[in-house]
Chain A
Amino acid sequence: MSSLSQLIRNENMKIYRRPRTWLMILFLIGTVALMSGLMKWDESKHDAGDWRAAVTERNAELSHVVQNNAELGEQSRSDLQNQIKLNEYYLSQNIDPDRLSVWSYVNSSASLIILVTLLTVVVAADMIAGEFTWGTIKLLLVGPASRTKLMLAKYVSTMAFALLLLVLCFAAALVAGGVLAGFDGLSLPDISIDASGMIHEGNMLFHALEKYGYSVVMLVMYVTMAFMISAAFRSSSMAIAFSLLCMLVGNTLSALLSGYDWVKYLIFPNIDLTQYMDGATPLRPEMTLGFSVSMLIAYYIAFQLIAWFLFTKRDVAG
C-alpha cells in the first residue's frame, strides 16, 4: 500500500520535471524584478531634493485647507488632521515618507500574488485532467493507492507549489528592494495612525505578511476551484481554459450584477477580503466579513467534495 509521502514525491516529480514549471518560476521572478525596477525609476524621477522642506510645505497646505474650508465634512477633516500628525511624526523621526525602503518593494510585491494565483491555477487545472490527456491515468490508478489518497497527494503538491511561488515572490522582492534601497531599511517600523489620532509603530515584516495573508485566501480559493475543474474535465487544455475563464470573468460579472442581492452568494464578491479593510466598501452594503468568511468556507468544502466525488466515483474508460 502506498504511503502518502511517496505519492506526494511522485506528484512533485511530475511538476518539477516539466520545463513549463521552470518557465513559470522564471517569469514570476522576472516580473518582480521588472516591477521593482519600475518603482525605482519612478522614484528617481520625483526626487525633490530636500524632503524635509517638501513635507513641511505639504503640511502647511493641509492646515490651510482644514482652516479655510468650513463645509468640510467631519470625516475628511479628521483624515486630513491625521495626515498632518503623521507628517509631523515623520519629521520628528527623520523618516522620509516618500523614499522607497526595502519594505516598499516587499509590500508592492503582494499585488503580484494575482500572478502567483494565475500560475498555480494553471498547474492545478492540469493536475488531474493532465493524467487523462496523457493517458497515464490508467497506470496511475492501477496501483495500491486509493483514489482518495492520490487526490490528496495531488492537492498537497499543488498547494506546496503555490507556497513555493509565494516564498519566491516575497524573497525576490526582498532581494530586489534590498539591492535598490539598501538592506538597512529592514529595521524600519510600520508607522500608522488610528482613528483617534494615535500613532503606532508596528513590525514591517508582520505588516507584509498580513498583506500576503489576505491575498492567499483568494489564491487558495481559486486554486481549489481549478483543482475541482481539473477533476471534472478529461482534457487539460479545457480545464485550464475554463479555470482561467472563471477567475478572470468572475469579478467583472459580479460587479455587473451588483444590483441584485443574490450576487452576494456567488464566490467572486466574497473572495477579496481586503474589501473589509481600510474603509473600503464591499460589493453590497449588507455584506460583512463574517458573511464572506462563511461563504468562502462553504465554497471550499463544496469544491473539495465535488472534486473528490468526481475523481473517486467515476468510471475511467476510454
Chain B
Amino acid sequence: MTEAVLELRNLTKRIGTRKIVDNLTFDIPAGEVFGFLGPNGAGKTTTIRMIVGLISMTKGEARIKGVSVKEQFELAMTHVGAIVENPEMYKFLTGYQNLVHFARRHSGVTKQRIDEVVNMLGLQNRIHEKVKRYSLGMRQRLGVAQAILHRPSLLILDEPTNGLDPAGIRELRDYLRKLTREEGISVIVSSHLLSEMELMCDRVAIIQAGKLVDIRSMQDAREQSQSKIVLEAGDPVAAQHLLAQLFDAAQLAVDGTRIEIAADKSAIPNIARVLVAADIEVLGIHAVQKTLEEQFLEITGGEMVV
C-alpha cells in the first residue's frame, strides 16, 4: 500500500443507544477506486456523512491527506469532492450556473477548468439548460463534475449507481477509471451491490452492522478464487475411497452422487485416469470457479444483500 489518502480511526456514530457505525479503523490507499460494500442499513452513508462533516462523530476521527476533518474542516474539505446519496442541484439554475456556484467556493477554479470538466463528463451539449430538464444520469454526471472541479485528491460517491440503467453504470465505470488515470484522483464508492463493485473497484471494505468485516483486494480475490472440481460417479462410495488416496479428507465433500473436490482443474486428468482404471463410471466431471459472490457470502455469513 502507498500513502493513505483517508485514514479512519475508531470512527463511531451512536444515535440513541444504537451504534450505527462502530469503531471503524482503516486506511484507504491513494490512487485506487475503493469500495464500501455492505447491505442496506450497514452504515455506509453514515460513515461518509461523518467523513465530509455533515454529521458529527461520536468518537474517533477521519483524516483526509493527513488533515483532521474535525479540527481543520475547511482545509480538509479542499482535498475532497463528494456526492452523498442523490446529487441534488439547484433546479432553477442551468448546469453551468450550478458549476459556477460550486467553483466559487474554491480558490483557483478557472473557466477553462469548468469547460474541461464539462467536456470530460460529456455534458457540453446541454450544459446551458436548466437542471430541471436533466435526466438522472446527467444529474449524476453534473454531480461528479461539481465534485472534481477543484482537482480533489479524494472523490467520494455514495451509491452512485442507484437509479442508473446498465448503460449509465457502464458510463460511470468508464469515467471513474478515466478520473483515476487522468487526474490521479482516489475514489471511494459505496454500494450494496457486489456485482457493481467487482467491476469498479481495486479494493473493497466490507461493512456490516456498522462494523468492518474485511478488506479485500479485488485482484487477489479473483486470483485466489479457489476452483473446485465437481464429479458425478456411478459408485460414489468407491470413488470417494479412491480419491481419499489422492486428496486430503478436508478437500472432499460428498453430496449424494456428487463429489466436490477442492482442487484446481489441472487435477482432472489424474482423477479421470484413476477412476477409469478402477472401472468406476464417470458420469460427469468439470471444474467450477467459486465466484467472488460466494466468497463474500462466506465472509459475511450469508447475509449479503446482492
Q: Please list the residues of chain A having a beta carbon within 8 angstroms of any beta carbon in chain B.
A: 1-3, 6-7, 9-10, 13-14, 17-19, 134-136, 138-139, 141-146, 315-317
Secondary structure at the B interface, as helix, strand, loop or mixed, is: loop
Secondary structure at the A interface, as helix, strand, loop or mixed, is: loop
Which of A13, A14, A142, A317 is the one whose CB lies under 8 Å from B77?
A142
Which of A17, A135, A142, A146 is the one whose CB lies under 8 Å from B92?
A17
In the complex the two chains form, is A7's CB within 8 Å of B53's CB?
Answer: no
Q: List the B side residues contacting A139 at CB < 8 Å.
A: 83, 87-89, 102, 143, 146
Is B86 an interface residue when CB atoms closer than 8 A count as contact?
A: yes
Q: In the bound complex, what is the Cα–Cα distance between A75 and B52 (angstroms)?
A: 69
A144-B106 CB under 8 A given contacts A10-B101, A17-B92? yes
Q: In the bound complex, what is the Cα–Cα distance between A317 and B84 (angstroms)?
A: 10
**New contact pairs (14) apart from A139-B143, A146-B73, A315-B54, CB-CB < 8 Å:** A1-B107, A2-B106, A6-B104, A134-B88, A134-B90, A136-B88, A136-B89, A138-B54, A141-B52, A141-B53, A143-B102, A144-B106, A316-B54, A316-B55
Q: Please list the residues of chain B having a beta carbon within 8 angstroms of any beta carbon in chain A.
A: 46, 49, 52-56, 73-75, 77-78, 80, 82-93, 97, 100-102, 104-107, 143, 146
Q: List the B side residues contacting A17 at CB < 8 Å.
A: 92-93, 97
Q: In the bound complex, what is the Cα–Cα distance between A19 and B132 (angstroms)?
A: 14
Q: List the B side residues contacting A145 at CB < 8 Å.
A: 74, 77, 105
Q: List the B side residues contacting A9 at CB < 8 Å.
A: 104
Which of A3, A10, A136, A139 has the largest count of B CB atoms less than 10 A from its CB? A139
In the complex the two chains form, is A315's CB within 8 Å of B56's CB?
Answer: yes
Q: A23 → chain B, closest Cβ, in Å? A: 13
A138-B84 CB under 8 A given contacts A1-B78, A13-B93, A17-B93? yes
Which of A1, A144, A317 is the one whose CB lies under 8 Å from B55?
A317
Q: List the A side residues contacting B74 at CB < 8 Å.
A: 1-2, 144-146
Nearest residue (CB) in A for B82 is A142
Q: List the A side residues contacting B105 at CB < 8 Å.
A: 2, 6-7, 10, 143-145
18 CB-based A-B contacts, threshold 8 Å: A1-B75, A2-B104, A2-B106, A9-B104, A13-B100, A134-B88, A134-B91, A135-B86, A136-B88, A139-B83, A139-B146, A143-B105, A143-B106, A144-B106, A146-B73, A315-B55, A315-B56, A317-B49
Q: In the bound complex, what is the Cα–Cα distance between A18 and B130 (angstroms)?
A: 12
